Amino acid sequence: MGRRKGRRRYSMTIPLAPIVGLIAAPAVRESVTALMAGDIPRAMTSAGYLLGIDGSGKFNFDLLMSNMGPIAAGLLVHKFVGGAPLNMNRVLGRARVPFIRI
């Protein structure tokens, strides 16, 4: 008789490294606080900071790097620590840690 494969259960997981990078971006924090205060124009202006567009509508590379740098770092950590070189996500899955992935 053939060996029977067990069913794999998939559960919702939260990737921590990209979320921490997103929270660390100053424009995201400013946008969220402006939205919570109900100031839509300020939220839209600070959301433009993610693309490097300052308040006057001009491109600013330093503004882009200060906001996209933490996001890129979080994605790189997620890729290399959680993925093939170290496989921390597989270790967390085998240890049955709920919800958390790197």
Residue 9 scores a pLDDT above 80: no
Write down the pLDDT at residue 7. 62
Write down the pLDDT at residue 99. 85
Write down the pLDDT at residue 43. 96
Q: Among residues of the chain, what percentage have pLDDT more than 90?
A: 65
Confidence of residue 8 (pLDDT cuts 50, 70, 90): low
Distances in Å between the Cα of 13 and the Cα atoms of 47, 80, 96 are 27, 18, 11
Write down the pLDDT at residue 2. 61
Q: What is the pLDDT of residues 24-73, one digit of tens each?
A: 999 999 999 999 999 999 999 999 999 999 989 999 999 999 999 999 99
> What is the pLDDT averaged over residues 89-99?
87
Left, alpha or beta for 38 (phi > 0: left; psi -120 to 50: alpha)? left
